[in-house]
Amino acid sequence: MSTALHVTDAADPRLADYTALTDVALRRRKEPAEGLFMAEGEKVIRRALQAGYPMRSMLLTPRWADAMRDVIDASAAPVYLVDPETAERVTGYHVHRGALAAMGRTPLPAAADLLASARRLAVLEAVNDHTNVGAVFRGAAALGLDGVLLSPDCADPLYRRSVKVSMGAVFSLPYARLDHWPHSLRDVTDAGFRLLALTPDAHARDIAEVAAETRTERVALMLGAEGDGLTPRALAAADTRVRIPMSHGIDSLNVAAAAAVAFYAVTHTS
């Protein structure tokens, strides 16, 4: 059981995990190197704990202490109570949810393990916007995918913004890195997956038609970043290029919106 400790000095070294959370470059270096990530808000903190991530500490404003009492009582990790102004000085922004937890990372599964057990996967190439990564994970979890494979240059799913946007879906959906991109895409097809590349190319096939053909197959759906989309090398590695038909002169969707439409197609088309 933890005892909540009142802290009034924003420079207190015990709060080091929470400093400068808005400095993206700093946090990208600091968090993976130190094996930590941030969970923000009561629901997300609870989901991280339920998923088995160890808690290093918790930073709460006083009004959240009662709401998190069961978590405080069940944990041996230190809990720091700060007023909202101190929280803002430490983190660099107004912590309107009033609850942050520094969580310890756990080892990622090997891509081979995910390929051995899944039937429907998302494969992301160079999706480096944290909001989009979080939204894609949320859609993948909600629509029944079994996991996500990431190219080496994809954004960190455990970055605070990704976690927040996903509403904790990054904790419940397994993911792995494909270290040798795009050569590792051969591992996907060798594992028996039909690799579909989502593209706005007018010559690509309607995803609904392909989804109907592949309902009994193992499918990996590959998506690229905003703007350029999938690279030529990734497209060349795919078995089939698929598209979402568009109307009213719109040529494409935001990657998170397109992902949700495509995930529904490959998991619900009969």
Q: Write down how long the chain is.
A: 270
Domain ranges, ordered by start, for the chain: 4-104, 111-268
- The predicted-structure confidence for 99-111, as pLDDT tens digits, reads as follows 999 999 999 999 9
Q: How far apart are CA 65 and CA 266, in angstroms?
A: 43
Average pLDDT over residues 189-210: 96
Among residues of the chain, what percentage have pLDDT more than 90?
A: 91
Nearest C-alpha neighbor of 170 from the set 132, 198, 226: 132
Q: How high is the pLDDT of residue 251?
A: 84
**What is the pTM for the complete model shown?**
0.93
Average pLDDT over residues 187-209: 97
- The predicted-structure confidence for 171-192, as pLDDT tens digits, reads as follows 999 999 999 999 999 999 999 9
- The predicted-structure confidence for 53-77, as pLDDT tens digits, reads as follows 999 999 999 989 989 999 999 999 9
Alpha helices by DSSP H, the chain: 24-34, 42-50, 69-74, 84-91, 111-117, 130-142, 160-166, 169-172, 185-190, 207-213, 232-237, 255-268
User: Which of the four pLDDT bands, split at 50, 70 and 90, describes residue 227?
Assistant: confident
User: Which of the four pLDDT bands, split at 50, 70 and 90, describes residue 3?
Assistant: confident
Do 111-268 and 4-104 have the same topology in CATH?
Answer: no
Q: Which residue has the higher pLDDT, 228 or 217?
A: 217
φ and ψ at residue 47, rounded to 5 degrees: -65, -35
Superfamily covering domain 111-268:
SPOUT methyltransferase, trefoil knot domain (3.40.1280.10)
- The predicted-structure confidence for 116-147, as pLDDT tens digits, reads as follows 999 999 999 999 999 999 999 999 999 999 99
Q: Which residue has the higher pLDDT, 98 or 48?
A: 48
Q: Is the pLDDT of residue 12 over 80?
A: yes
Q: How high is the pLDDT of residue 128?
A: 94
Fold of 4-104: 60s Ribosomal Protein L30; Chain: A; (3.30.1330)
- Averaged pLDDT score across all residues of the chain: 95
Q: How high is the pLDDT of residue 177?
A: 97
User: Which of the four pLDDT bands, split at 50, 70 and 90, describes residue 1?
Assistant: low
Q: How high is the pLDDT of residue 98?
A: 84
Q: How high is the pLDDT of residue 233?
A: 97
CB 222 within 8 A of CB 198: yes
Average pLDDT over residues 247-263: 93
User: Which of the four pLDDT bands, split at 50, 70 and 90, describes residue 270?
Assistant: low
Q: How high is the pLDDT of residue 252?
A: 87
CB 174 within 8 A of CB 109: yes
